[in-house]
Structure 1
Amino acid sequence: MNAMHQYLFDAYRAARLGEPAPPVPGTHDVAVLRSVRDRRRFARVLAGRPARGALRTALRRLLHPAPADRRRSCSC
């Protein structure tokens, strides 16, 4: 059973009992994603890291690695 089936069952039950219908699946998705983003930014600020640009920096490191002579070498 997926979310739409569950919604239809809940809407049917609410209509039979005279209760308000539940929200449609996906109604609050954007708000949830926005709050997750804000919480992660806040945690980065508390940790002393920049709040923005982490994804872009990680992609830049992945796609454009530094030349071999500028890479840090492990002193194992």
Structure 2
Amino acid sequence: MTAIEQYLIDTYRAAQHASPMPPLPGEHDMAAFRAARAHVRFRAVLDGRPARHPWTAALRRLLRRPRPGAC
């Protein structure tokens, strides 16, 4: 069963029982990703490692210059 099919079933049930409609599939995905990222940074602090911003490594890779002599 796909997420859309499950959403349609849940919507039908909510309408039958006069309860609030369920959220759309994917509506809270970004919030879940942010919470997971925050948890990883929190665990890094607890383990004694620096909690770096998530874009730091990506910017470092983009701005890194190739070494002379490297092909």
Say whether the fold is shared (TM-score over 0.5): yes
Match of 1:24 in 2: 24
Aligned equivalents of 1:24, 1:53: Cα separation in 2: 30
Match of 1:56 in 2: 57
TM-score by length of 2: 0.69
Say how many residue pairs are matched: 59
1:29-64 per-position Cα deviation (integer Å, ceiling 9, x unaligned): 11111011011001101111111168829xx6xxxx
TM-score by length of 1: 0.65
Unaligned runs of 5+ in 1: 61-76
Higher Rg of the two aligned structures: 1
Matched, 1:47 2:47: yes
Aligned residues with identical type, % of pairs: 52
Aligned equivalents of 2:51, 2:44: Cα separation in 1: 5
Match of 2:34 in 1: 34
Aligned-residue CA RMSD in angstroms? 2.2
Unaligned runs of 5+ in 2: 62-71
Match of 1:65 in 2: none
What is the identity, as a one-letter code, of the residue corresponding to 1:18?
A
Runs (4+) of structure 1 moved beyond 2 Å?
Answer: 53-57
Matched, 1:8 2:15: no
Aligned equivalents of 2:21, 2:40: Cα separation in 1: 33
